[in-house]
Structure 1
Amino acid sequence: MTRRTFFRTGAAAAVAAVAGVTALETGAVPGRGRVHELLGLTGPDGVVPDVPAGPVVSGTFASRARRTEVGYSVVYPDGYAAGARLPVVLALHGRGGDHRAAVNDLGMDRYLTAAVRSGTPAYALATVDGGSDSYWHRRADGSDSGAMLEQELLPLLTARGLTTGRYGVLGWSMGGYGALLQVLQRKVPPVAVGAMSPALWHRYADVQPGAFDDEADFERNQVLGRAGSFRGTAVRIDCGRDDPFAGAAHDLRTELRADGGQQPGLHTGGYWRRMLPDQLRFLGAKLAV
């Protein structure tokens, strides 16, 4: 190889490398998230705090809205008795989950204790089975997980001594979308919503199979482009930059002028655990206003 050929080859390789990096950063190359993960660019996984969990009270009720028996749990911070008169945040699970996911998968019971110990005004978390792929809205079979929250879960929580006149909603993935949707569809909307990696799409052609019954269902339950309906509700939206929902989450956050941001991260439990301290502080502060 001549010296001239060597330099030409090196220059070509450099150009190709730059082009490859540019394509990765713009999303033109599949697997960008995996490459970023291997390079350590997706951020650390959140670590569940080493603090005691508070009381967790679980039960079931026959849901007319969902047409089935559903499980629920109420999570209190350490230092507060089960049945304490506290405000409440509804925690909505992601696709494939149930009411146990908040504690079993994310350690939300310990994150709640840590938040309260760090000065966040105390509140309880309430979780419920929303259906593994309901997307928290009325479906063609007549089941309606969103209505269940308002018509059945909130009255149950009131009977348990929680204050529900001002409540918040927190969700991740499917549940993040569901949390946002509650603002549009409830007679008494939440005063604050926290959404982590909400499952959002601009177009019906891009949706995950099973998320909506048809295009009309998608349009009825679209949260993008409805900023006026969010007036009076504080919103925080966090989404990892390598999450497939990052673009739509960014657009909605901008549209609503919401708190939150786009951090290094993927659509994973590790990312959601990392964002939980900020989300729980945000909700506690808004409930206490």
Structure 2
Amino acid sequence: MRSKPGVTRRGLLLGGTAALVAACTGRSAPVVAPTSAAPASSPSPLKASITIHRRHSAARGRDVDVVLMTPDGVPSTGLPVCAALHGRGSTARTFLDLDLPAALTAAVRSGTPPFAVAAVDGSHYWVPDGHDDPSRMLADELPGWLSESGLRPMTGVLGISMGGFGALNLARHRRDVTAVATCSAALFRTWPEARARHIFPAQQDWTAAEPLRHVDELPSRGLGVWCGDGDPFLAANRKLITGANPEVSRITPGEHTSEYWRGVLPEVLRFLGPRLT
């Protein structure tokens, strides 16, 4: 099914705290950030290019948002791509609320090689659930959507909370992924912990998907792990760090909140950029 082209708007302020996007109907949604007058002596605001496409995913059996974010002032054609996987109860647009586009522009201005971030709607810890298969969408459909936008294939993945679970699973099966970063990855040390989430039909389904049960399949090079010291998944993330021996691991003050993720994203993006090419 052919989708209508997306709509791009520029002008995202770095310090914006208001919600950047409201739910839209129709096939494409414009993104307009609120702005305020800046003193004449202040530096130019950090901008970003944001495009939202509404695509039909046969793998998921529904329409999904594909949010493409590129650094301001950099031609998007031919950029390497990092996929961004959101947490449970969130959507691809969550990364706009987390100010990722402005953080991406700031990272590139500080010397990080430019790249694009592609966020897409998912669910079910990014594993199959009946006829809804977000993992197949990432493997079979996202590459074509990126190509249509003039971007290179995905070589990196960033996951927050539930998205961290999905990002690690993706890295297990995709050796062309050269950079993986997780923030507050929602991982489960035991079946009773996982069962309480009502996601996995049976223990064998969880065992097959749980990254902590397959740490030997995870790449240590190009893997970065971030978690707050007050996060409910802290113990599971410590187990991930011990078992996978990531290239970078950071346990810093913070909880399982948007404030924590917004705070660590600049460092996460600086980690990802040089490892995508």
Question: For the structure 1 residues 211 and 233, does the alpha-carbon distance in structure 2 shift closer, same or farther, using more than 3 Å as the test?
Answer: farther
Please give the alpha-carbon distance, in whole angstroms, between the structure 1 residues aligned to 2:215 and 2:208: 15
Shift of 1:48: 4.8
Unaligned runs of 5+ in 1: 1-46
Larger mean Cα displacement after TM superposition, 145-154 or 209-218:
209-218
Shift of 1:57: 1.3
1:182–1:189 CA contact under 8 A, matched in 2 = no
- Indicate the SS of the match to 2:48: coil
- TM-score, normalisation: structure 1: 0.77
Partner of 1:199: 186
Please give the alpha-carbon distance, in whole angstroms, between the structure 2 residues aligned to 1:182 and 1:195: 12
Letter in 1 for 2:100: M
Question: For the structure 1 residues 200 and 189, does the alpha-carbon distance in structure 2 shift closer, same or farther, using more than 3 Å as the test?
Answer: farther
1:241–1:264 CA contact under 8 A, matched in 2 = yes
Identify which of 276, 282, 289 aligns with 2:265: 276
- Indicate the SS of the match to 1:163: coil
Identify which of 179, 186, 202 aligns with 2:167: 179
Letter in 1 for 2:127: H
> Quick check: 1:137 aligned with 2:127?
yes
Shift of 1:49: 5.0
Letter in 2 for 1:115: A
- Indicate the SS of the match to 1:179: helix
> Quick check: 1:74 aligned with 2:68?
yes
Larger mean Cα displacement after TM superposition, 50-59 or 217-226:
50-59
Larger Rg: 1
Identity level (%): 37
1:49–1:111 CA contact under 8 A, matched in 2 = no
Partner of 1:167: 155
1:63–1:70 CA contact under 8 A, matched in 2 = yes
Identify which of 196, 219, 243 aligns with 1:231: 219
Shift of 1:240: 0.7
4+ aligned runs moved over 3 Å, structure 1: 47-51
Identify which of 75, 84, 88 aligns with 1:91: 84
Please give the alpha-carbon distance, in whole angstroms, between the structure 1 residues aligned to 2:115 and 2:237: 27
What do the CA deviations read for 1:187-238 (whole angstroms, capped 9, x no partner)? x541110000000011110124233222121111011142331237511011
What do the CA deviations read for 1:140-187 (whole angstroms, capped 9, x no partner)? x221111101100122102221111x610001111111111101234x
1:234-249 mapped onto 2 (5 Å cutoff): 234-249=222-237
Partner of 1:44: none
Partner of 1:117: 109
Unaligned runs of 5+ in 2: 1-12, 17-44
> Quick check: 1:101 aligned with 2:91?
no
- TM-score, normalisation: structure 2: 0.80
2:14–2:47 CA contact under 8 A, matched in 1 = no
1:183–1:233 CA contact under 8 A, matched in 2 = no
Partner of 2:38: none
Letter in 2 for 1:193: V
CA root-mean-square deviation: 1.8
Shift of 1:261: 1.7
1:56–1:73 CA contact under 8 A, matched in 2 = yes
Letter in 2 for 1:103: L
Please give the alpha-carbon distance, in whole angstroms, between the structure 2 residues aligned to 1:267 and 1:180: 18
Letter in 1 for 2:203: E
Shift of 1:286: 0.9
1:115–1:280 CA contact under 8 A, matched in 2 = yes
